[in-house]
Amino acid sequence: MKKTVAFHNLGCKVNSYEMEMMIKTLAGKGFIIVPFDQKADIYIVNTCSVTNIADRKSRQMIHRARAANPDAVIVAAGCYVNTHGSEEVTAEGVDICVVNEQKKDIADILDSYLGSREAGEACAQTDISDLEVLHTRCFIKVQDGCDQFCTYCIIPYARGRIHSRPIAEIVDDIKGYVSEGYKEFVPTGIHISSYGKDRPEDGEDLLGLLEKISEIDGVKRIRLSSLEPRLITEDFARSLSRIEQLCPHFHLSLQSGSDAVLGRMNRHYTTGEYIQAVDILRDHFDDPAVTTDIITGFPGETEEEFRETVDFVEKVGFYETHIFKYSRRRGTAADRMEGQLPEKVKHERSNVLLEINKRKKSEFEDRHISERVVSEVLFEDTEDIAGKTYMTGYTREYIKVCAAGDRYHAGDIATGTIRRQSDIIIFEDRS
């Protein structure tokens, strides 16, 4: 009898990619994939352990799965297992622990636990090509691991040192996804700026990878995930600007606008180097979307250091700023630092940055809302907004837009102008 499997994903885009791979593997072996809120024979929680909050969410989802079906097989996969160990995770009510390195073997692990390979053998010919493609944007894992050792981060211990996939292997993957209907590709990893540095003898780097991806027939867009500011040089930006499919959307992780705090974080760059990277990108791209991450309330952050961050965010003018309140993480250097700030202070500082983000985001969008500015939109999905159904999609700068009616479908690319209507941005085709 075929087993039903429900997945829940926590954490980063790499986790999302790895979950999709597990889903495809199990579907290809005859397992039936069902939503996580349904009763299932097997629940797989793809865990995260980047913060104590992520740990807690991982435990909550494990307990939720057990409550949904006390007789189910509960699988915990990923970073929470890597950082806490099988013995501790099993005590949470987990039947099978799968570390990151074992995710590719999920079908064999389940078969072994279930005591029989009947399910896989009986359904080995299952064709997964008819599975509905729900999204037109595809995250492609190009590397894993990190050598940066930021003082607040546990990921180098959970994921290990950097490991890059060969370009040829990545290209083959993308060709397969193109055949499934995907149009936009996002090379992702734990630290993609390090791509190729673990295999210098192969001469492969991030720029070379992007150029190879751009040569694949059917790739309409390439969107970068998080980059290190130090990677952005004049030559690098100039080469990027020559890649026609590359979206002018750059996520440069900041974390703090204070050089003193950056030093305590072990971030390897200064605010001066950061703003230089932003200026270089703006020299080579026409008003690109620059987005970032900031941690508020890092140990020892004074009011003056926080004001430096506020001033820096105002100066840069980000399209979006993702704000995180510092969360102590057992096993990191920052957890042992003096000057741990109360939650009230973190909350207040977060609110200040949230207000700036709201204003700066609107300012950026307003510069693109004009009859004279032509935007290209890749439509992705339908959404019900205020009682009306829209087809939604994203511009190359990652501005979310809505189109009323049934003219567009997922995967359609159209050019036109955009205008603000209440709380949404409306697309108007001018072709």
- Name every residue whose Cβ is closer than 8 Å to that of residue 190 and which is 6 or more positions away in sequence: 12, 14, 143, 144, 145, 146, 155, 159, 162
Share of the chain above pLDDT 70, in %: 95
Average pLDDT over residues 151-172: 93
Does residue 219 fall inside a structural domain?
yes
Q: What is the mean pLDDT of the chain?
A: 91
pLDDT digits (tens, 9 = 90+) for 313-328: 999 999 999 999 999 8
360 shares its domain with 380: no
- Give CA–CA dist 396/295, Å, rounded: 27
Average pLDDT over residues 295-302: 97
Q: What is the number of domains present in the chain?
A: 3
387 shares its domain with 412: yes
Question: Could you tell me the pLDDT band of residue 135, with boundaries at 50, 70 and 90?
Answer: low
361 shares its domain with 391: no
Question: Could you tell me the pLDDT band of residue 122, with boundaries at 50, 70 and 90?
Answer: very low
Better pLDDT: 350 or 29: 350
User: Which residues make beta-bridge pairs with 295?
Assistant: 324
217 shares its domain with 325: yes
Rg (CA), the chain: 23
Residue 131 reports pLDDT greater than 70: no
62 shares its domain with 144: no
The CATH number of whichever domain residue 294 belongs to comes to 3.80.30.20
pLDDT for 133: 39
pLDDT for 431: 60
Contact present, 327 and 297 (Cβ < 8 Å): no
Residue that terminates a domain, selected from 61, 90, 122: 122
- 267, with CB counted inside 10 A (0-12, 13-18, 19+), is buried
Residue 51 reports pLDDT greater than 90: no
Residue that terminates a domain, selected from 122, 154, 169: 122
Q: Which range among 68-72, 252-256, 302-306, 369-373 shows the weakest confidence by mean pLDDT?
A: 369-373
109 shares its domain with 44: yes
